[in-house]
């Protein structure tokens, strides 16, 4: 049995997901939701995304994709040289630990490579069109159908309103 693969991202109206290896907005409410959605699960991400975090994420087993076959990673963080290899490793970890899903947390290249392999998308639609240098791949209606949409509760420190949208394959 394979564990479902879910791409999780916050995406601006213009498809933006990042600017200069960081987020193009402040949205603490969504970061709390990201933590709640990923804790206890393996999380696949690219080397640049991992570097932007500056540390491992507590309560999650990270698998970092890097072209370097022996990247310098902290203890408890696994490496893989391809998205396919990272997903296979994350599947094994999920099965061993009883995790319900494998989460893919970016960046843009990782999302593009993982999208054809994903079972679901969990997208925070951010009500902004910020300057950006990385973008989420198009969510094609012929491939994905919207399963649910929930308006996020905008906190006082959030720069924008947002909605959490879940997609499944058609």
Structural domain spans, the chain? 5-169
C-alpha span between 125 and 127 (Å, rounded): 6
**150-163 confidence digits (pLDDT tens):** 999 999 999 999 99
Nearest residue to 123 (alpha-carbon basis) of 139, 108, 107: 139
**71-81 confidence digits (pLDDT tens):** 789 988 999 99
Q: What pLDDT, on a 0 to 100 scale, did the predictor assign at position 69?
A: 79
Stated pTM of the model: 0.95
**65-119 confidence digits (pLDDT tens):** 999 877 789 988 999 999 999 999 999 999 999 999 999 999 999 999 999 999 9
User: 31 — alpha (psi -120 to 50), left (phi > 0) or beta?
Assistant: alpha
User: CATH for 5-169?
Assistant: 3.40.430.10
Confidence bin at 1 (pLDDT 50/70/90): low
């Amino acid at each position: 049995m394979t564990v479902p693969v879910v791409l999780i991202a916050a995406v601006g109206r213009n498809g933006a997901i990042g600017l200069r290896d960081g987020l193009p907005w402040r949205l603490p409410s969504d970061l709390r939701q990201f933590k709640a959605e990923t804790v206890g699960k393996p999380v696949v991400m690219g080397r640049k995304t991992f570097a932007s975090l500056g540390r491992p994420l507590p309560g999650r087993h990270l698998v970092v994709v890097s072209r370097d076959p022996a990247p310098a990673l902290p203890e408890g963080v696994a490496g893989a040289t391809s998205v396919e290899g990272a997903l296979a490793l994350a599947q094994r970890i999920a099965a061993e630990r009883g995790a319900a899903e494998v989460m893919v947390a970016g960046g843009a290249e990782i999302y593009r490579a993982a999208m054809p392999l994903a079972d679901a998308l969990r997208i925070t639609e951010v009500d902004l069109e910020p300057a950006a240098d990385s973008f989420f791949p198009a969510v094609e209606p012929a491939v994905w159908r919207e399963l649910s949409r929930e308006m996020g509760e905008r906190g006082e420190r959030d720069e924008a309103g947002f909605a959490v949208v879940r997609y499944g394959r058609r």
